[in-house]
Structure 1
Amino acid sequence: MNKTIFSFFVFFTICQLSAQDYYSALRNKYWIYEENDQKAFHYLNIYISRAKKEKNYAELFQAYDDAIRYSPNKKIEYADSAISAAKLSGNSDLIGSSYISKGAVYYFTYRKFQPALNEYLKAYEYTKNTDDEFLKYQNLYHIGVVKSYLGYYEEALQLFKSCNVYFKSKIKANIHPNLIKNHQKGYLNCLHQMIVCYQQQGNYTESEKLIKEGLDALPKDPFFNLEKSYFYKSEAITEFNKKSYQNSIRIFNKALPEFIKINDYTFASVIYYYRGSAYDELKNTEKALSDYKKVDSIFNKYQFILPELRNNYEKLITFYRNKNQPKEELYYTKQLLKADSIISTDFKYLSNRIHRDYDTKSLLEAQSNLEKTNSFGKFLLIFSFVVILVLILFLAYWLRKKKEIQIKYEELLEKISSKNTKIKENADLNKLTEKNSKIEIKTVQLLKSKFSDFEKNNGFLEKGITAGKLAIEFGTNATYISQFMNEYQGCNFNTYINKLRIDYATEKIYNNKLWQKYSVEDIALACGFSNRQSFSNLFYEQNGIRPADFLKKRKEEIRLKRVS
Structure 2
Amino acid sequence: MKMKCLSIIFVIILSFSKHSMVAQDNYLELRELIQKEKIDSLKIKIGQTYLDDAIHKSDTINISNAYFQLFRTRPKDNVAYIDSIIAITKSKNYFRYPALGYLYKGNIKFELGSYIEALEFYVKASEAAKKSGNDRLYLSAKFNIGLLKNTSGDREEAQTIFAEYIEFLEQNPKYINKLNYNRGLFALADSYIHTKKLELAEITINKGIKKTIKTGDSVVYSYILVTSGIHQYLLNNYHKAIDSLQKGKKIIQKFDPLETRIATCDYYIGRSYKDLGEEEKSISYFKKTDTILRKTKDVIPDIIDVYDYLRAYSKSKNDYELQIEYINTQLELDSIKHANQVYLTRNITRKYDAAELISEKERLIKQFEKDTFLKDNTIIFLLVLSIILILVAVYGLRKSYLNKIRFQKLLEQQKNSKVNQSELIKDISNDLVKKEDIDIPEDVIKTILKKLHDFEDKNQFVKKHYTLNSLAKELSTNSAYLSKIINVYKNVNFANYLNNLRIDFAIDQLSVNKSLRSYTIQAIAEEVGFKNAQSFSSAFHKKTGIYPSYFIKHIKS
TM class, shorter-chain normalised? 0.5 to 0.7
Deviation at 1:333, TM superposition (A): 0.8
Tell me the secondary structure at the aligned position of residue 318 of structure 2. Answer: coil
Q: Do structure 1's residue 78 and structure 2's residue 81 form an aligned pair? A: yes
Q: Do structure 1's residue 306 and structure 2's residue 300 form an aligned pair? A: yes
Specify whether residues 231 and 100 from structure 1 end up closer, same or farther in structure 2 by C-alpha distance, changes over 3 A only: same
Tell me the secondary structure at the aligned position of residue 214 of structure 2. Answer: coil
Cα distance between partner residues in 2 of 1:79 and 1:114:
19
Cα distance between partner residues in 1 of 2:89 and 2:161:
27
Q: TM-score, normalised by structure 2?
A: 0.58
From the CA coordinates, give the structure whose radius of gyration is larger.
Answer: 1
- 1:309-334 Cα deviation digits (max 9, x unpaired): 11111111111111111111111111
- State the match for 2:499 in structure 1: none
2:209 partner letter: L
Which of 195, 199, 209 aligns to 1:201? It is 195
Which of 91, 100, 115 aligns to 2:103? It is 100
Q: TM-score, normalised by structure 1?
A: 0.57
2:214 partner letter: K
Specify whether residues 67 and 88 from structure 1 end up closer, same or farther in structure 2 by C-alpha distance, changes over 3 A only: farther
Cα distance between partner residues in 2 of 1:187 and 1:309:
27
Tell me the secondary structure at the aligned position of residue 248 of structure 2. Answer: helix
Within-5 A mapping of 1:433-452 = none
- State the match for 1:27 in structure 2: 34
- 1:321-351 Cα deviation digits (max 9, x unpaired): 1111111111111110011011111112222
- State the match for 2:214 in structure 1: 220
Specify whether residues 186 and 20 from structure 1 end up closer, same or farther in structure 2 by C-alpha distance, changes over 3 A only: closer
Cα distance between partner residues in 1 of 2:323 and 2:42:
46
- State the match for 2:127 in structure 1: 125
Q: Do structure 1's residue 231 and structure 2's residue 224 form an aligned pair? A: yes
Cα distance between partner residues in 2 of 1:367 and 1:14:
41
1:307 partner letter: P
Cα distance between partner residues in 2 of 1:314 and 1:20:
52
- State the match for 2:139 in structure 1: 137
Deviation at 1:363, TM superposition (A): 4.7
Cα distance between partner residues in 1 of 2:25 and 2:72:
26
- State the match for 2:234 in structure 1: 241
Check whether the contact 2:51–2:67 (CA below 8 A) recurs between aligned residues. yes
Q: Do structure 1's residue 111 and structure 2's residue 113 form an aligned pair? A: yes
- State the match for 2:247 in structure 1: 254
Deviation at 1:114, TM superposition (A): 0.8
Tell me the secondary structure at the aligned position of residue 243 of structure 1. Answer: coil
Deviation at 1:120, TM superposition (A): 0.8
2:228 partner letter: E
Specify whether residues 38 and 288 from structure 1 end up closer, same or farther in structure 2 by C-alpha distance, changes over 3 A only: farther
Check whether the contact 1:65–1:101 (CA below 8 A) recurs between aligned residues. no
- 1:280-336 Cα deviation digits (max 9, x unpaired): 222333332222122222222221121111111111111111111111111111110
Check whether the contact 2:140–2:165 (CA below 8 A) recurs between aligned residues. yes
Cα distance between partner residues in 2 of 1:199 and 1:19:
42
Check whether the contact 2:273–2:281 (CA below 8 A) recurs between aligned residues. yes
2:185 partner letter: L
Deviation at 1:261, TM superposition (A): 1.8
Deviation at 1:214, TM superposition (A): 1.4
Check whether the contact 1:58–1:89 (CA below 8 A) recurs between aligned residues. no
With 262-271 and 272-281 compared, the bigger mean Cα shift is at 262-271
Q: Do structure 1's residue 59 and structure 2's residue 62 form an aligned pair? A: yes
Tell me the secondary structure at the aligned position of residue 133 of structure 2. Answer: coil
- State the match for 2:460 in structure 1: none
- State the match for 1:269 in structure 2: 263
Specify whether residues 185 and 242 from structure 1 end up closer, same or farther in structure 2 by C-alpha distance, changes over 3 A only: same
Identity of aligned residues (%): 23
Which of 37, 47, 52 aligns to 1:49? It is 52
Cα distance between partner residues in 2 of 1:116 and 1:290:
33
Check whether the contact 1:195–1:234 (CA below 8 A) recurs between aligned residues. yes
Cα distance between partner residues in 1 of 2:334 and 2:27:
51
Within-5 A mapping of 1:360-509 = 360-363=354-357
Cα distance between partner residues in 2 of 1:16 and 1:123:
26
Check whether the contact 1:38–1:71 (CA below 8 A) recurs between aligned residues. no
Deviation at 1:247, TM superposition (A): 1.0
Gaps of 5+ in 2: 1-17, 374-557
- 1:50-103 Cα deviation digits (max 9, x unpaired): 332333322321232233344365444222112124347652631111111111
- State the match for 1:348 in structure 2: 342
Cα distance between partner residues in 2 of 1:81 and 1:141:
24
Specify whether residues 332 and 43 from structure 1 end up closer, same or farther in structure 2 by C-alpha distance, changes over 3 A only: farther
Cα distance between partner residues in 1 of 2:52 and 2:19:
21
Cα distance between partner residues in 1 of 2:133 and 2:346:
29
Cα distance between partner residues in 2 of 1:319 and 1:51:
62
- 1:342-375 Cα deviation digits (max 9, x unpaired): 1111112222211211124435656887999999
